[in-house]
Structure 1
Amino acid sequence: MPKQRNDRSTHREIELLDALRRVGGSARIANLAEVLGVSEETIRRTSKALAKANLVRRVHGGVFLANAEAESSVLSRLGQRSTEKRKIAQAAADLIPDGACVFLDVGSTTAFVANALHKHRKLTVVTNSLNVAQAMLNQNDNRVFLAGGELRRTERGAFGADTSAFLQKFYFDFAVLSVDGIDAKGGFFLLGAQEAAIAQDVVARTRHCIVVADHLKFGQSAPLIVCPPEQIDSFVTDRPLAPVYRKKFSEWGIKTVHGDKSALM
């Protein structure tokens, strides 16, 4: 299991990770220095710290992201482990009653949840995801609110100050959140600063927070904490938890739903 850092990340490290995401996951040190307006030595020093945390890999003259799947486009991830994601999605949808106000984020597993909600009625769906909005539109008297902001192609979603301001108009019964990594010490993590900011805003305005993730997210490294794990109410996954996670989730008060059986563990 990759070692998680105690200090999580510095501002410079977060900037470097965001820059790598914007340029497709890999770049030469000289190019990163130009993008961030810092020296090449600063990039080398920052990437060395990130490499120790298993967040990037260093090669001669360049850097690339370690968590390649999380950095791939949401469209490509929709085709990965689709069977597992459908099971997770149905189990998550079963937790949400008709008439609820629900936030759904830009994650690929969350897009499957949107499809699994197709029989629900009179939902108020709020999202920053184009995929979710399209899936929920004109379904069973559901109302769909799409947050504005800067659109990003990789996530097919909106981000930024305008997005956060729009979301603050709502109070949610349920929120369905995706994550890039899960750690037994710190809980749930994301790679992107803007994704983390939105998740934190939503968690603070939600009665019941649901995290959806398949088994491969366990042990994955990411620098940003979604929220204190005690603020998550339910976790939906595709396989039984390892004993260390089962113990920690119980301590955090998180109910775990197994996608195969849709039963609490």
Structure 2
Amino acid sequence: MESINNHTQSEILNAVRKAGGTCRIVSLAKQLGVSEETIRRNVKSLAREGGLEKVHGGVRLQVSAEESNFQSRMLECSDAKRKIAGVVSRMIEDDSSLFLDVGSTTAFIAEALKNHKRLTVITNSVAVAFKLATRNENRVFMAGGELRAHDGGAFGAAAGAFFENFETDYAILSAAAISARKGMMLFDLEEAEISRTVMQRSKCKIVAADSRKFTRSAPINVCDPSLIDILVSEKKPVAEIYRAAANWRAQVVVADEL
């Protein structure tokens, strides 16, 4: 019997996204080279986690898993994200090099960095590049690849290879969920692979997550949580995650306590 695993689940999520948010079971089985029963078992697990919902003969992304579109996400918990952005921006010195991902929280961080000088910014986010390019002698390097409509992020083989050219002072990353057991979690396999690459090539890894992420789940584990240096949120994490962060030896910074 073919087993359920995170790799298969992430492939299902990516396939459904590429199909526009809905897909038939039979089509997923053919695309991924597994049985329809394997797809159904994985879909059942993803439905429990809030990633997909079952419809007659197929599946569709839940709005929370697709995270709506980028502009909608910018409006969600915007006050919390601004607080987080302010905290993170104060950690970054002028003349630093940093990676910023495609998350809405990192777009707020880019805005908070607008008065910094001579930054070297590595990103695959159009929003980040737009906010920081041509300002204060900054240098912004934007990944190539396919530009996704729902988040303005560049992905694909070219984007993945692009990040291997850089070593940075900081990797600033957003998360779909924070797990006490596994740390930073995402819905998208391509995003996770890029996050892994830049974490390996940066001195300080900062994960920025609003407090909703402490009670959410997502299927893809990004890294060993001990790689996280700093976890920033607007509120103190729930007790389980706060204790876990101590075990990871990650510094927890709470905007509301500053």
Provide the TM-score with structure 1 as the length reference: 0.88
1:246 matched to 2:246: no
Give aligned pairs, total.
Answer: 256
Q: Which one of 204, 218, 225 corresponds to residue 222 of structure 1?
A: 218
C-alpha distance after superposition, 1:136-192 (max 9, x if no partner): 011111111111112111120111221122111110101110111111111111111
Q: Which one of 27, 45, 49 corresponds to residue 49 of structure 1?
A: 45
AA in 2 matched with 1:72: S
Paired residues of 1:25 and 1:71 also in contact (CA < 8 A): no
Q: Say if 1:128 and 1:235 are closer, same or farther in 2 by CA, change over 3 A.
A: same
Higher helix share: 2
Q: Which one of 101, 113, 118 corresponds to residue 109 of structure 2?
A: 113
> Match of 1:166?
162
Paired residues of 1:67 and 1:220 also in contact (CA < 8 A): no
- How do 1:86-235 residues align onto structure 2 when only pairs under 5 Å count? 86-235=82-231
Q: How far has the Cα of 1:36 moved from its partner?
A: 4.7
Q: Say if 1:250 and 1:8 are closer, same or farther in 2 by CA, change over 3 A.
A: farther
Paired residues of 1:105 and 1:128 also in contact (CA < 8 A): yes
Q: Secondary structure at the match of 1:72?
A: coil
Paired residues of 1:70 and 1:180 also in contact (CA < 8 A): no
> Match of 1:83?
79
Q: Secondary structure at the match of 2:165?
A: coil
Paired residues of 1:67 and 1:221 also in contact (CA < 8 A): no
- Rounded to whole Å, the distance in 2 between the matches of 1:214 and 1:24 is 27
Q: Say if 1:26 and 1:259 are closer, same or farther in 2 by CA, change over 3 A.
A: farther
> Match of 2:8?
12
Q: Secondary structure at the match of 1:218?
A: helix
Paired residues of 1:9 and 1:224 also in contact (CA < 8 A): no
Q: Secondary structure at the match of 1:78?
A: helix
Q: How far has the Cα of 1:68 moved from its partner?
A: 1.6
Q: How far has the Cα of 1:98 moved from its partner?
A: 0.6
AA in 1 matched with 2:91: L
Q: Percent identity?
A: 45
Q: How far has the Cα of 1:49 moved from its partner?
A: 3.4
C-alpha distance after superposition, 1:199-247 (max 9, x if no partner): 0000000000110111111132212111111111111111112222211
- Rounded to whole Å, the distance in 1 between the matches of 2:50 and 2:74 is 25
- Rounded to whole Å, the distance in 2 between the matches of 1:8 and 1:95 is 41
Q: Say if 1:166 and 1:77 are closer, same or farther in 2 by CA, change over 3 A.
A: same
- Rounded to whole Å, the distance in 1 between the matches of 2:254 and 2:48 is 33
Deviates more, 1:48-57 or 1:169-178: 48-57
Deviates more, 1:118-127 or 1:242-251: 242-251
Q: How far has the Cα of 1:14 moved from its partner?
A: 1.9
